[in-house]
Amino acid sequence: MEIATKPLEATTTTSNMATATPITVAYGDGIGPEIMTATLKILKAAGARIKIEEIAIGEKVYLGGNSSGIGNEAWDSLRRTRVFLKAPITTPQGGGYKSLNVTTRKVLGLYANVRPCVSYHPYVHTKHPIMDVVIVRENEEDLYAGIEHQQTDEVIQCLKLISKPGTEKIIRYAFEYARAYGRKKVTCFTKDNIMKMTDGLFHKTFDRIGEEYPELEKEHWIVDIGAAKLAETPEVFDVIVMPNLYGDILSDVAAQITGSVGLAGSANIGDGFAMFEAIHGSAPRIAGMDKANPSGLILAAVQMLVHIKQSDIAAKIHNAWLRTIEDGVHTSDVYNDSVSKTKVGTQAFAEAVIERLGQAPLQFPKADYSNGDKHFDIKISETVPAVRELVGVDIFLQHKDRNPDALAALLKDIESSGLQLKMITNRGTKVWPNGFPETFCTDHWRCRFTREPQQGVSYQAVVDLMQKIHHRKLEIIKTENLYLMDGAPAYTAAQGQ
């Protein structure tokens, strides 16, 4: 499977391998060291022209007091090599540790996460013999902004951020990828029936940009039924582009239904940086047991070799790997009595691939990367600033009394330059005026103040309003300005409004 990227600047070294490309390697946590050892063994045996800079990241770095799990020396290496082969890492639970994977993807601008999920029927047991889906996952935003706040005793918030440039980049990338690799269809998954503005932007951008690719079939699915369809009949999909969270979840599902989550590799692509990894995690339960399937990382390394313009070695390894699978040499995650012949551990699997270097698969199509790496010049449109008019404010309060009418009574006579209480919601559902007594209310209230008829107000009016609310001894925990943008409301109505 080829992966499209921007070309790298040529990097050479004066070491004993004059043409070797420096790459940064991290052995990771859990099964990481085992699958990395297996993968590097194969790269070496195949004659990959690489010069490895090893960095320490992950659990040890976290527990050593660095809450990002990666130190300055590691960043320096990544800046030097711009190519990262990374084993999975364990993010310690709680304790304020930020996911290193998410940090790396965002800091290095790796906006496209390309995850091919392919069935290897009849050699790997699967219910889905005809499956060749490429999931293109947005990699930098969505709920992975990781901006969370406990706002009240009862309610915690996680911000879902979807940007116009971020959306345009990933959707254009998916279409360019489909065009470059002769794919027929691009599907978009969103939940825009509920998240009309954030996922709505993703869907609308897909429709708009899709018009520039008339030769490709295009379709949109609501993510819930789309996920069900993917799990049931993956053969109807080709390239699927999704916001970050859905892509994270559904690429695991897609890989798992090919036979094992351990089979899929991925490329994280940015403008000038690229990171290659298995899609699975550090599988701590089987760590140190020589049981893990190294295939995901091996196939990620194949993607990396194409990226660093060593297509010959990439093909050699991929073909040997396909032959190993065909020969029924399988790790326990894919071992099945009806199709497998030899059950092997991680390192023996690597040895089996090495033994087959130079051989080709007999049944699977031969991997051929002679066309080299494809690179796309992804352009994003200029953001045209909208005419913004402030017309109100949502003021969020912590308030213990669960009775919305009593809260409304406390706020009703507060007025600031025409701003007046228009409605109160609890967890997004309108509870005043005319709420349902059955609606359960938490201690987290949104109080919408607008000026009617909708007219502009100054920010000073909002500040004055907040001061009056504060003087009533009500606890403001957050505010959101309400704008008209180019005359249209830039906020949603409440459920039940």
Task: Please report whether residue 443 would count as binding ligand NAD according to CB under 6 A.
Answer: no
Burial 250-284 (b: 16+ CB within 10 A, else e): bbbebbbbbbbbbbbbbbbbbeebbbbbbbbbbbe
* Cβ-based neighbour number of residue 483 at 10 Å: 18
Tell me how far, at minimum, the Cβ of 307 lies from ligand NAD, in Å. 18
Among 85, 135, 230, 292, binds ligand NAD (CB under 6 A): 292
Inter-residue contact 304 to 85 (CB < 8 Å): yes
* Angle subtended by helix axes 311-326 and 346-355, to nearest 10: 110
Sheet with 488-489, strands from edge to edge, namely 429-432, 419-426, 444-451, 388-398, 475-485, 488-489
CB-wise, 250 or 457, nearer to ligand NAD? 250
Tell me how far, at minimum, the Cβ of 91 lies from ligand NAD, in Å. 4
Task: Please report whether residue 293 would count as binding ligand NAD according to CB under 6 A.
Answer: yes
CB-wise, 286 or 317, nearer to ligand NAD? 286
Over the Cα atoms of the chain, what is R_g?
26
At residue 352, the 3 state secondary structure works out as helix
Task: Please report whether residue 101 would count as binding ligand NAD according to CB under 6 A.
Answer: yes
Interface with ligand NAD (CB under 6 A), residue total 20
Task: Please report whether residue 296 would count as binding ligand NAD according to CB under 6 A.
Answer: yes
First to last CA, the chain: 49
Single out the segment in contact with ligand NAD by CB under 6 A; choices: 166-174, 274-282, 312-320, 363-371: 274-282
Pull the structure tokens for residue 426: 């609890």
Among 261, 317, 339, 367, binds ligand NAD (CB under 6 A): 261
Tell me how far, at minimum, the Cβ of 104 lies from ligand NAD, in Å. 9
- In Å, how far are 73, 276, 390, 428 from 35, measured between CA atoms? 24, 13, 55, 46
Work out the angle at residue 97's Cα, subtended by the Cα atoms of residues 94 and 101, and round it to the nearest 5 degrees. 120
**Cα 395 from Cα 375, distance rounded (Å):** 47
Burial 157-167 (b: 16+ CB within 10 A, else e): eeebebbeebb
Task: Please report whether residue 304 would count as binding ligand NAD according to CB under 6 A.
Answer: no
CB-wise, 97 or 181, nearer to ligand NAD? 97
Task: Please report whether residue 345 would count as binding ligand NAD according to CB under 6 A.
Answer: no
Task: Please report whether residue 88 would count as binding ligand NAD according to CB under 6 A.
Answer: yes
Q: List, as one string, the DSSP characters of 231-265.
A: HH-GGG-SEEEE-HHHHHHHHHHHHHHHT-GGG-E
Give the phi and the psi of residue 330 in degrees, each rounded to 5.
-130, 145
Among 15, 18, 96, 285, binds ligand NAD (CB under 6 A): 285
Single out the segment in contact with ligand NAD by CB under 6 A; choices: 115-123, 204-212, 282-290, 321-329: 282-290
Residue with tokens 């709420």: 435
Single out the segment in contact with ligand NAD by CB under 6 A; choices: 6-14, 161-169, 277-285, 422-430: 277-285
Task: Please report whether residue 139 would count as binding ligand NAD according to CB under 6 A.
Answer: no
| Residue span 13-32 as binding mask against ligand NAD, x where in contact by CB under 6 A, dash where not | ------------------x-
Tell me how far, at minimum, the Cβ of 98 lies from ligand NAD, in Å. 11
Single out the segment in contact with ligand NAD by CB under 6 A; choices: 43-51, 280-288, 322-330, 477-485: 280-288
Task: Please report whether residue 2 would count as binding ligand NAD according to CB under 6 A.
Answer: no
Residue of minimal Cβ distance to ligand NAD: 281
- In Å, how far are 29, 78, 81, 171, 281 from 70, measured between CA atoms? 13, 11, 16, 30, 17
Tell me how far, at minimum, the Cβ of 92 lies from ligand NAD, in Å. 8
Among 277, 327, 394, 443, binds ligand NAD (CB under 6 A): 277
- In Å, how far are 225, 262, 399 from 352, measured between CA atoms? 41, 17, 65
Strands 265-269, 112-118: pairing kind:
antiparallel
Task: Please report whether residue 89 would count as binding ligand NAD according to CB under 6 A.
Answer: yes
Task: Please report whether residue 333 would count as binding ligand NAD according to CB under 6 A.
Answer: yes
Task: Please report whether residue 90 would count as binding ligand NAD according to CB under 6 A.
Answer: yes
Task: Please report whether residue 91 would count as binding ligand NAD according to CB under 6 A.
Answer: yes
Sheet with 217-222, strands from edge to edge, namely 50-55, 21-26, 83-86, 274-278, 265-269, 112-118, 132-138, 239-242, 185-190, 217-222
Task: Please report whether residue 265 would count as binding ligand NAD according to CB under 6 A.
Answer: no
Task: Please report whether residue 286 would count as binding ligand NAD according to CB under 6 A.
Answer: yes
Tell me how far, at minimum, the Cβ of 411 lies from ligand NAD, in Å. 43
Tell me how far, at minimum, the Cβ of 8 lies from ligand NAD, in Å. 22
Chain positions contacting ligand NAD, by CB under 6 A: 31, 88-91, 101, 261-262, 277, 280-286, 292-293, 296, 333
